[in-house]
Structure 1
C-alpha cells in the first residue's frame, strides 16, 4: 500500500514541510526541485479520514464531521499545531498505543532519510511530554538522531475516524408562548381573529342590530332647608342585551 500511496502522491506540489530538528524551516531542502510526498495525503490514505487541505486546517475541518479528543486511539490522526517551524502543521496516524504516554505513528515527510525529504516512517515512537498528560506536547522519533527528537511539538488533539460524528448544536430558539384568543386581543390591543370570525359567520352583508341602552334617568333634586339643594349627576346604566336568542348577544357574552 505504501508504494501505491507514494505513486499517487508523487505529483503533489512542493510546499513547506516540517522543519528538521535543530534547523530553521526550509534550510535543508531549499535547493530541492523534485516534488515529494506530503503528510496530508498519506495520513488520509492510512487513516481513512477524508479531510483535504493543509494539515493545520484538519482540526477545525473535523468539527461536526468526526469526533475529536485528547486521548490517542488506534486509527486516529494526531493533529499538530502550526508554528514558526511547521507553518503548515503536520498530521500523523496512530497505529499502536503503548501506554498512557507512548504511541507508535505512521506518517510521511517528517525525518529526512538518506538526505531526502518526503519519506514514509512506519511504527515510530511519539511520547507525550505535557505536564498534564493531555497530549498537548509530544516529542517524535527523528531518524538522523536515531532517537526521539529534542523539540516538544504542540498538538491540537486526535481526530477519530471510527466514531460517530459529533453533531453541530442547533442555535437556541425560544418556544412560542401559547395564548388564548382573548389573551392575544388583550396583549396586541386589537380584536383577535376568532373574535372577528365569530361575527363574520353571522348574517354576512346585514348590519348587526344595535345594542339597546336604557335612557338615563332625569336628574333628581333633593330639597333641603339648609344647606341649599345639591344636584346629583345621572348614573349610566349597564347596557341591556337584545332578546336571549339573539346570536350577536351570544357572541358578545363569550368575550364580555
Structure 2
C-alpha cells in the first residue's frame, strides 16, 4: 500500500491484490457524514442508532434491525468472515442485545484485531476507533470482545460475519 495525494489530502492507495487496511478518503468522508448526521439528530433530541450510522458510514443500503442485516445482504452484497476496511460487522442478536448490532470496520490492525466505528453501543453516542479482538477458537471472527470504553474490553459477543460494500 502506498500513500498518494489528492487535492492536498493524503489518500491511501491499495493494490488490487490486498484489501485496504486503513480508511480511504471516500470512507473517511462517509464516516464524517455519519458522525455529523448523528450529531444533528442528537441536537434535535432524536435517538442515535447503530443501523442508520452504519448505513451512512459504509454505503451499504440495508434497512431494518441490525439482526436482519446478514440475511438481507444475501444475494446483494458479498459476505464473509474476514474483516475489511469499510465492511459492516454484523453482531448476532442475543438475549441482552435482541436487536443485534452493526458496526463499520475502520482499520485492520492484525488477523485478530480491528478498529470499528459504531453508534449506540453506549446509549445514544457515536464511538470511533474502538478496538475489537477476535476471541473465537477458529480465528473466524464468530466471537469477539469490544472495547466498551477506551482501554477496556467488554464481555464476549457473537458475530454473524462481515458484509462488504460494493466497490466502485
Q: Give the TM-score range, shorter chain.
A: 0.7 to 0.9
1:7 aligned residue: 40
**1:67 and 1:163 in contact (8 A); partners too:** no
Q: Please report the TM-score for the alignment, with normalisation by the length of structure 2.
A: 0.75
CA distance in structure 2 between the partners assigned to 1:48 and 1:137 by the alignment: 25
- Aligned residue number for residue 135 of structure 1: 141
Segments of 5+ residues of structure 2 without an aligned counterpart are 1-32
Match of residue 154, structure 1, among 144, 155, 158: 158
1:97-136 equivalent positions in 2, closer than 5 A:
97-111=108-122, 117-136=123-142
Q: Summarize deviations over 1:150-180 as a string: whole Å, max 9, x none.
A: x11000000000359xxxxxxxxxxxxxxxx
Over residues 115-157 of structure 1, what are the superposed CA-to-partner deviations in whole Å (9 max), with x where a residue is unaligned? xx210010110000000000000000011x74111x1100000
Which one of 83, 93, 96 corresponds to residue 94 of structure 2? Answer: 83
Root-mean-square deviation over aligned CA pairs: 1.9
Structure 1, unmatched stretches of 5+, are 12-33, 112-116, 165-256
Aligned length: 135
Relative contact order higher in (CA < 8 Å, ≥ 6 apart): 2
Structure 1 length normalisation: TM-score?
A: 0.50
8 Å Cα contact 2:38-2:126 kept in structure 1 = no
- Aligned-partner SS, 1:135: coil
The Cα shift of 1:35 comes to 4.1
Q: Deviations over 1:168-219 (max 9, x none)?
A: xxxxxxxxxxxxxxxxxxxxxxxxxxxxxxxxxxxxxxxxxxxxxxxxxxxx
Secondary structure at the aligned position of 1:126 is classed as strand
Counting strand residues as a fraction of each chain, which structure ranks higher?
2
C-alpha contact 1:9 1:38 (8 A) present in aligned 2: no
